[in-house]
Structure 1
Amino acid sequence: MTVAIGLTALATGCGVSGDDEVTLRLVAADYGDSAANTTKKYWDDLVSSYEADHPGVEIDVTVYSWNDVDRKVKEMVDAGNPPDMAQIGAYSDYAAAGRLYPASEVLSIPTQADFVSQFVRAGEVDGQQYGIPFAASTRLLFYNKALFQQAGITKPPTTREELAEDAAALKADGVKYPFALPLGPEEAQAETMQWLLAGDGGYTDTVGSYSIDSAQNIDTFTWLKDELVGKDLTGPVAPGKLNRAAAFAAFADGQVGMVNGHPSLMKMAAKKGVKFGMVPLPGTEGPSRSVMGVTDWMTAFRKNGHRDEVGDFLDYVYNDKNVLAFSREYDLLPVTTSASAAMSASPQDKDLEPFLEQLPLSELYPVGKTSWPAVSADIKKRIGSAVTPGGSPAGVLRQLQTAATAAQAAE
């Protein structure tokens, strides 16, 4: 789905007029799960309030689904027509190509200093911050309490063997998706990373080189193939065809026993009356010691200039009021320390506390590597085939490793 909106707004604080009028283009991702809560509405309200005090610059905001937004921006860049700002999933390849303003050239010092420190580090290429964090989340295992009770399961799993046993009990009780395993192209890189971390592996080793085909990772995906997918415990849709949005929707409809989820799933499930619990993803011998954290990125492209106008608007985007409004609307975690502190202290945000507690210790994608966008795209394309009946987890992971090593060498 593509939602496009043209909104009039913004400039510098003093406003501009006549020949000085500027048009800024912002491309953003849609965090909503339906037309009723599309992120179009968030940007509509934000820009409308901004333009009341900052006339003179026209802002065209286009909102794309997460399935499309990164590709759409790449097409614009490749065509020589990048937007002024893009809120997307990766930034490092554009930074390495010299296409982005550093954060220090567009943001005020107070705004830049307020970001959570791990996001600042993750946003750096060669020691310079180019990726501006926009929204964050961590992941937990969600389970349907009613389905667990009906299947005779008395407590959530703490190891992956217990998870498989619980999934088998759910299947025997007629649950459509005992464990929903979304390895479809929407967000396969996230589901994959969660399982790799729970299996004491990950995308990179201790020195930052790709280690996709490590022994731990091969063991993890062999287990997924043999113990979950191979025993028909992941539902009627093949994992490689199941997207995260569809898995979440099925959980909210009461059709899923367990699924890995981020905070927005809480609201979706609660709206449908699903009683759920949340625990860390089970690992080989107990709850996973490592947790995946994710942040999405705002970027400011150099080509069209307008540095001052872009910076003035982004300072407004990142004030506490707007950061909290976005985080609360979409059940995501703030990327600024001041908004995080406000959320931690607020009774209305108590449901997010388990995710907020995980954030400081979470591991992020290797987004600072300029090869990561290509590696991530390759994972989305290939990883689902690793768990098919005729698939080879070791073979697929080695293919991914070979391509990642070559991409890293070209950085």
Structure 2
Amino acid sequence: MPIVPNRLRRLIATATAAAAALALSACGAGPDTGDEAEPLRVWLMQNSLNEDLTEQIVRDFEDRHPGRRVEVTVQEWTGIGEKVTDALAAQEAPDVIEVGNTQVAQYVDAGGVANLTLKVPELGGDDWVSGLEEPGKIDGYQYGIPYYAANRVVIYRKDLFAAAGITEPPATREEWIEATEQLDQPEAGQQGIYLPGQNWYVLAGFVWDEGGDLAVELSGRWEGALDTPEALRGMEFYERLHRLGGGPADADEATQSEVFAQEEIAQLIAPPGHAKLITELNPELQGKLGFFPVPGKQADTPGAVFTGGSVLIIPENARDFEGGYSFVQLITGDTWQREIARTMSYVPNKTTLADALEGDPGAEAMAKGAEAGRATPNSPSWAALEADNPIKEYQTAVLTGQDAARAAKEASDAVTALLSGTP
């Protein structure tokens, strides 16, 4: 059986999806309401929405579409990649699927995801959070529709800041370094910041701030870019910050909240939801935690951060494409985006909706940071790289004294090999 190149397959899919959309529009076709045994099938991920909010959104959709029923299936993240790929290849796929924003490329590469580029204007695409919009766009076409976002902020001890005479959170990266130097008091057993050596998500933000990237696509081939001058400057800043605390050079962020709760640490870089875990582990910290966006190089611009979150896709083989699109339009519209943001403390899909988080300090800081949000390189092989991540080993190498340029070149070569599938 001949192999169709990925790019050609995407173009074929694009043409097919566009033709289908035009056909629906031309004939005024609507969802099949003749058989109530066939509900609109929606896959949402675990912890995406709570049960009450899910029921409210479903009820709203059904009220707007008399005679229609919505069947929501909650999926677990473990093993979801293979499950979604199989569903996209099925003769009748679900009508809407929530996927991680960094997963879109691999699903488009496998085939079966509808091209929704023509729908972007009416979905408010001009205001989408870039860290959700860009990963959903492959070869200039929009396949994933932004749903919600989350990113890391600085969680800090307000009491330790006050004791050091720091009255306001730092506004720039240099101010951040100066404040952290004041807070780092090893003789008193206090760390200015707890930054594990292998927190590559944080490193990515510093690299982006310097104008670099983790990998770039050149003539259809992905290549590691950690050895560029810009990326090396990002690693240099990471090293400066790392030195102002006791984070192990060979550890990632898996247990950092537990460490923060147990020791005298002034700052931690994590999603704001970790504050709840910290206070559960150490109730004495209740009311002592504050939040601010990761500072950028200029005072009026937050630092770049990795934006995680979800987008919604519609399979080409969905039984009810138009019904699926109507559901996407509803749940990504301003009314429900505001409610989802308030209820779940997520960043809404549009920058114009950030006011929905007023009164929630952690979520407000997260939304501010999302203005400079980015996603990982849009390679269909990125998930494979994360499973065997050479960026983490590179960080450890530099933090333990190895030559940064040489270690960056070795890591870049490893990234290139993993993204290109070469041994």
Q: TM-score, normalised by structure 1?
A: 0.69
Aligned to 1:124: 137
Query: Structure 1 residue aligned with 2:184, among 149, 162, 168?
Result: 168
Q: Distance in 2 between matches of 1:45 and 1:344?
A: 22
**Closer, same or farther: CA 394–240 of 1 in aligned 2, 3 Å:** farther
CA contact (8 A) 1:141 1:260 kept: yes
The C-alpha deviation readout for 1:184-240, integer Å capped at 9, x for no partner, is: 7xxx552231233456643257989641233454465467568736x8622xx7763
Q: Distance in 2 between matches of 1:96 and 1:227?
A: 38
CA contact (8 A) 1:136 1:334 kept: yes
Indicate the RMSD between aligned Cα atoms, in angstroms: 4.6
Aligned to 1:308: 322
Aligned to 1:228: 242
Q: Does 1:332 align with 2:346?
A: yes
| Count of aligned pairs between the two proteins | 373
Look up the equivalent residue of 1:130 and give its one-letter code: Y
**Closer, same or farther: CA 22–385 of 1 in aligned 2, 3 Å:** same
Aligned to 2:374: 364
**Closer, same or farther: CA 342–156 of 1 in aligned 2, 3 Å:** closer
CA contact (8 A) 2:207 2:214 kept: yes
> How far is the alpha carbon of 1:113 from its aligned partner?
4.5
> How far is the alpha carbon of 1:26 from its aligned partner?
0.4
Deviates further, 342-351 or 210-219: 342-351
Query: Structure 2 residue aligned with 1:387, among 396, 399, 403?
Result: 396
**Closer, same or farther: CA 19–288 of 1 in aligned 2, 3 Å:** closer
> How far is the alpha carbon of 1:93 from its aligned partner?
1.9
Q: Distance in 2 between matches of 1:196 and 1:174?
A: 31
Query: Structure 2 residue aligned with 1:240, among 229, 248, 251?
Result: 251
Runs of at least 5 residues in structure 1 that lack an aligned partner in the other structure? 1-11, 32-37
Look up the equivalent residue of 1:72 and give its one-letter code: I
Q: Distance in 1 between matches of 2:301 and 2:124?
A: 33
Aligned to 1:111: 123
**Closer, same or farther: CA 78–260 of 1 in aligned 2, 3 Å:** same
> How far is the alpha carbon of 1:342 from its aligned partner?
4.9
CA contact (8 A) 1:225 1:387 kept: no
CA contact (8 A) 2:156 2:268 kept: yes
Q: Distance in 2 between matches of 1:108 and 1:96?
A: 21
Q: Distance in 2 between matches of 1:183 and 1:16?
A: 56
Q: Does 1:258 align with 2:267?
A: yes
Residue aligned with 1:110, SS: helix
Q: Does 1:190 align with 2:165?
A: no
Q: Does 1:72 align with 2:80?
A: yes
Aligned to 1:35: none
> How far is the alpha carbon of 1:278 from its aligned partner?
1.9
Q: Distance in 2 between matches of 1:251 and 1:330?
A: 24
The C-alpha deviation readout for 1:300-356, integer Å capped at 9, x for no partner, is: 2334443123212112211222111111223332223xxx43544886578755555
> How far is the alpha carbon of 1:178 from its aligned partner?
4.6
Query: Structure 1 residue aligned with 2:113, among 67, 87, 100?
Result: 100
CA contact (8 A) 1:241 1:384 kept: no
Q: Distance in 1 between matches of 2:70 and 2:134?
A: 33
CA contact (8 A) 1:150 1:173 kept: no
Q: Distance in 1 between matches of 2:68 and 2:217?
A: 50
**Closer, same or farther: CA 75–180 of 1 in aligned 2, 3 Å:** farther
Aligned to 1:323: 337
CA contact (8 A) 2:347 2:367 kept: yes
CA contact (8 A) 1:137 1:332 kept: yes
Look up the equivalent residue of 1:174 and give its one-letter code: G
Look up the equivalent residue of 2:242 and give its one-letter code: L
CA contact (8 A) 2:210 2:234 kept: yes
Residue aligned with 2:416, SS: helix
Q: Distance in 2 between matches of 1:78 and 1:130?
A: 18
Q: Does 1:21 align with 2:34?
A: no
Q: Distance in 2 between matches of 1:364 and 1:179?
A: 23
Q: Does 1:202 align with 2:219?
A: no
Residue aligned with 1:276, SS: strand
Runs of at least 5 residues in structure 2 that lack an aligned partner in the other structure? 1-28, 281-285
> How far is the alpha carbon of 1:146 from its aligned partner?
0.6
1:335-350 equivalence runs, <5 A: 335-336=349-350, 340-344=351-355, 348=359
CA contact (8 A) 1:183 1:191 kept: no
Q: Distance in 2 between matches of 1:27 and 1:198?
A: 33
Look up the equivalent residue of 1:42 and give its one-letter code: L
The C-alpha deviation readout for 1:77-109, integer Å capped at 9, x for no partner, is: 25856755123132012113322111247x586
Q: Distance in 2 between matches of 1:173 and 1:302?
A: 61
